[in-house]
A and B are shown apart, each in its own frame.
Chain A
Amino acid sequence: MATETLVDRRSRRAPGTVEVPRGAGVRPGRFTPYLFLAPFLLVFGVFVLAPAVYGLWISLHNWDFFLPTRPWVGLTNYLNLFDSDNLLAEQFWESMLATGKFVLFSVPLLVVLPLGLAMLLNRNFRGRTAFRAIYFAPYVLGVSVIGLLWQFLLSSNVGLVNYYLSKVGLDEAIPWLTALPWVWISLVGVTVWWTMGFNSVVYLAGLQGIDTALYDAAKVDGASRWREFVHVTLPGLRPVLLFVVTMTILASANMFGQSYLLTAGNPSNETRTAIMFIAQVGLEQFRIGSAAAMSYLLALLLIVISAANFVFFRSKEGD
């Protein structure tokens, strides 16, 4: 960048005016930094920090919206979730299983397929931008449009998908939205279709950041495509890969709209995800204490997974 060629014009100034130590920052007026920070900290304090603590507090109470008293119950809401005779626990773990399945099925596809797509798009050809935009387009539509649209396309009797399958000889109408294992195939498939473009674009940026000299060197060494991919592309993409994997796990664990709109949790709560169940318990049945406890448990689990993921990628860096 041109700015880097500017001469260092740093100079000492009298105390009390402005001091400019490089990198560490300029010493400002006493309140200036806080004034800059104030708007953010206000929103952050009220809607992030306060609720983080408040939620914990709620989870230690029998906090029913419509009960006159909200008695302290200590860890009961948490312990109940580990009591095998407890109905709520049974349903909660059923929903955790649903979320787990969705993460397990969707994340590998959402990590691998977009990478393939990004490598296709990373070539030099006419119409690249247009194709890129086309693959990204479903993402801007939002989950409700996606839900309405695929509800229709996947309908077992009047849906296009079954119609075209019958044209290629599959006469049995597949119950995409109503029966196992099809519900999972549908939810994962629709999610991949919907969000794949996003991950592809992130990968594409990563691919374009890889030094082309490395590829040239690999070519000189006579490396095969595959070795080139393993030894140049993947290492070059490591930070982007970490980002994509972490974000995709979080997004998949947050899955709500697809189930809510496409399967409504059917068949028999098989696809009712953890977020869906927590929202039902907390905001439909108003058992906010229990719901808060469940969200903390799930969050803890996700933080552990994210951390493990982070450590895994860091350890690979040393290889």
Chain B
Amino acid sequence: MSVEALTLTLVVITFLIYIYIGWRSKVKDTSNFFVAGNEIPAVANGAAIAADWMSAASFISMAGLISFLGYDGTIYLMGWTGGYVLLALLLAPYLRKFGRYTVPDFIGDRYYSNAARAVAAVATIFISLTYVAGQMRGVGIVFSRYLQVDIVIGVLIGMAIVAFFAVLGGMKGITWTQVIQYSILIVAFIIPAAAISLKLTGNPIPQLSLTFSDIAQKLSILQVELGMTEYLAPFTDLSAINVFCVTLALMIGTAGLPHVIIRFYTVKSVRAARWSAGWALLFIALLYTTAPAIGVFAKYNLITSLNDTPIEQAESYNWASKWEETGLLQLDDANGDGVLTFTNGADNEVVIDPDIIVLSTPEVANLAPIVIALVAAGGLAAALSTASGLLLAMSSAVSHDLYYRIFRPDADEKQRLKVGRLMIFLAVMIAGYFGINPPGFVGEVVAFAFGLAAASLFPAILLGIFDKRMNREGAIWGITTGLAFTVVMIALMRSVPVFGTEAPIIESFFGINAQGIGVIGALINFIVSFIVSRRTPAPPEEIQQMVEDIRVPRVSEK
């Protein structure tokens, strides 16, 4: 069977599985729809969080990004895993004890204010929306690359699948589909990594061969010889202050992302919430410790097979000609000496797109076509699982927080479920629209998502649990100032794509770039909240009692 036929078969099989699970998990009440009836086991929730978390970008692009940043690629590795420690220790157990449906639920109740609830709901919608557009685009790209299907049709197929199991099964359908999607994506990621690791170092475990072999050293030396930055040396691509701030901003932002937080509401108990954070990070770490190894191996392999190679020989590799067609790889013997030169200077003759690091590995390592098909299915699983989690976060913010808690507190169970389904359907349509017509600054909005989560939701939730004296005034002022500062700073620094100016209005904030500015936003939020809360009346007695209650696992007997 050809690679295309194999890929198509595998993709169809996985989609049928998702549809089957969605059908099996159809739900009839809001508790099942929003939080899967609080009955997801800890390990399954861990896998679902991992699938929720690891997007098309983690799967396809991250290893490539790291291989181009070298040491400084740690911003993504530590930034996107360190947040789970904050979640597990500071937020997850207490939010589970609080035991409602959404993040705005907690903020609205804890700060006895519908204004705070509305702000949190809008932040949730904005954060999730910026994120989901990229996922739908990812689905379309995988379809077009592997199956030569038009991107628009790819996005439409993805929308149909997500809409089916999310509308029918809500959180329950999404969770069990995500468990399967995690399994597919991790197998698809590990097999090529193990193969290239075995080929280059004789050890199939990528993490071990990265640490114990000399391949990273060799790559580092090779890069210096070719005029690129020293791979193993810190701060060659980003300044130290930026590596620090971006890492911390991504950590805090991760802990504040609503679609991740709501997953902790789905487990049975406080205890299960703590354990599921561990399982989640274990499943995530499998990919996140493999990615830097693939980055090193694939880059070393690409440089050694292309640099100083006669162009005819390079073009005779079947992977080279295939990826040249897609434009991800460009080979051009500019000086006409018949040999390719790979450098950082003007005489460079090899241009590679970071995405090729993961995508080309199965072919470079000479793996069977079924593995290539598996990588396509894995990329789709990663994009679809993240999209479905985000869609639920968005729709619950609208249907539960805005519609039910603020506008129609008298709505009955049936109406609420109907609005929930309707909203998720609407969210799929909006996400699909942005997938087909991506706003020009898709890449930029991810900085917004993490910055906003770090500057608004994370401090408000944290203080709500650990500072009993924190009150409505403090929280609202804190969120508003943190949010305003972050939005203005990112917009000014990214004014080229956002406002269409010729140069950024400001380059950086005391050396901190747009990705790292969320740290300062969070700091402002903390400081303002603290000062305002101490100058305004303490929260009412029953709120203080509620804080006492969420701090212990046992339900207090009234």
Q: Do A and B come from one complex?
A: no
List the interface of chain A (C-beta within 8 A of B).
none
